[in-house]
Structure 1
């Protein structure tokens, strides 16, 4: 039997949101049920049980019952912020929406049933390009929501072996909202536990280092690859070239003109996009 797979549009992988680990487990267990080959409507109901969560995560059933109910109650309030520019042109729009439109917990059965929000569905269904895929089992036993997010951000660039992430962008993506403003606290409570769990519980190994601009740490450099005994989830052949050399979101000439001395093109592209969407920089007039 084929392992349950997660398919997410890259825009959703890089969106700004915060979910607890149990909220992540509910959402991912439901995403794994989405039939990516058939149209999805906002009326489709997905159900996950405490028994399924306990088996998937190798935890006690009583613990799963307790956490599932609390997580389902919070999940309805959770929002996700997406940044996008239609067809790569025009001014980027900020779209704030909810993960789910309805969620219910059946106490006597220990199950959660939900319907995904209407605006989330296009990021989960009938994806043909610019998406990330991985097995649900890759993250099922992680106990850090940050570890799950880090794994997705690395798997998105699977095959490149390196991803440079700007710290301000990471804080925004994880919705840290002023927490861990000191880099030492960020390392202790976010980066180090997340990296440790990716190394221990996923098919990837990962190391990281920091990069400074002047005296300030501004970027984290992640280097990663498949563990020798793991079975990699490779992108489709038509997408391998794109993953090996990610397309730039901004015109190459613009990125080359504005990149820093020690920045690669992909890193500069990400930094410039962050500055544009946060109002620090104007969108270039010509995007072709």
Structure 2
């Protein structure tokens, strides 16, 4: 073939290798992330966007018939490629640091009559060649294992949608909506949304302009759903927030999320 006046010879093996790599990447991103609604809706944490994505990467490795958490054998290069974190030594170092930070971060879960304090990552072993062995914390088992079989209410979505979202608030909102996909929306008092996003000390109008609206816009422009946002006011104050969404998935994608 010709381009720019030069003859370019394409090696058929390189072309085939590229196709296989793209297929493998698409396959990895197509795996579902499945979490109990309780974990999505009730867990309170302060994770960064990268840490949220690392959690979802690990959860996507959990299979429906797993009875326990198996070590996730991967590499920093694979994580960076699947999650679009970028290549090179700088991005490698940043992902390793994010895993270290994640291993030291926990979350608290408020359930009836109790508060449970847990963490996401039990162990992370990374060798000098970048090979990694990751282990989810066993306390996550009730929220990640056998959810379909037990008919526990759960959020189910494609890892690919998480990959394209840049803001941590977009990821959190997307997952919250997926946990309410049966009713295609969620509504509540503004204070409930502020608490969910860890912004209880922020004024609603600031939160709405700086966090909620940009998150909705990013979800609408990058994922398979379109979010509609409405509020109800009383005496000039917002007293109720309603978020509903329409899916733009194929029938196969919807079936996978059931």
- Shift in alpha-carbon separation, 1:103–1:173, aligned structure 2, 3 A: farther
Decide which of 28, 32, 36 is 2:64's aligned counterpart.
36
**Matched residue, 1:60:** 86
**Matched residue, 2:172:** 149
5+ residue gaps, structure 1:
86-91, 237-288
The 1-side partners of 2:119 and 2:36 are apart by 16
How many correspondences in the alignment? 225
Decide which of 185, 196, 207 is 2:228's aligned counterpart.
207
Larger radius of gyration: 2
**Matched residue, 1:96:** 117
**1:231, CA displacement in angstroms?**
5.4
- Shift in alpha-carbon separation, 1:228–1:177, aligned structure 2, 3 A: closer
**Which consecutive aligned stretches of 4+ in structure 1 deviate over 6 angstroms post-superposition?**
none
TM-score normalised per structure 1 = 0.69
**Matched residue, 1:7:** 34
Contact 2:155 2:181 in 1 (8 A): no
Contact 1:134 1:233 in 2 (8 A): no
Decide which of 35, 57, 80 is 2:107's aligned counterpart.
80
- Shift in alpha-carbon separation, 1:93–1:173, aligned structure 2, 3 A: same
The 2-side partners of 1:19 and 1:48 are apart by 22
Q: Secondary structure at the match of 2:93?
A: helix
The 2-side partners of 1:134 and 1:174 are apart by 20
Q: Secondary structure at the match of 1:209?
A: strand
TM-score normalised per structure 2 = 0.77
- Determine if the alignment matches structure 1 residue 16 to structure 2 residue 36: no
The 2-side partners of 1:191 and 1:224 are apart by 15
